[in-house]
Amino acid sequence: MKATWSKQYDYSHYTQASFEEWQKSIQQRDIDLTSALDAGSWNSVEIILAPATAEQLDTVTLSMTANTVQLTIK
């Protein structure tokens, strides 16, 4: 799983320089999930984005890739 987070960018004050500075402030972390996810249902996963502050968590994006997928037979 990959998590990225940042402060929200204020597009009403857009300049090329301020946008590039904001892009440099984006942080990311790769997270290994060690347990299997249950098929066909929501799964709870806890992640810790320390030492991120509340201000830095205006925008959070999560993405996931899987190396193995197991299908179930009904």
Six-digit token pair at 28?
């990311």
> What number is the average pLDDT over the span 7-11?
94
What is the spatial distance between Cα 30 and Cα 39, in angstroms, rounded to a whole number?
23
Q: Is residue 73 part of a domain?
A: no
Kindly indicate the confidence band of residue 71, based on its pLDDT and cuts at 50, 70 and 90: confident
What is the spatial distance between Cα 21 and Cα 7, in angstroms, rounded to a whole number?
11
Predicted local confidence at residue 60, as pLDDT: 94
Q: Is residue 23 part of a domain?
A: yes
Q: Is residue 69 part of a domain?
A: no
> Is the separation of the CB atoms in 49 and 5 below 8 Å?
yes
**Number of domains composing the chain:** 1
pLDDT, tens digit, 9 for 90 and up, residues 18-66: 999 999 999 999 999 888 888 888 999 888 898 898 989 999 999 999 8
Enclosing domain of residue 33:
2-63
Q: Is residue 49 part of a domain?
A: yes
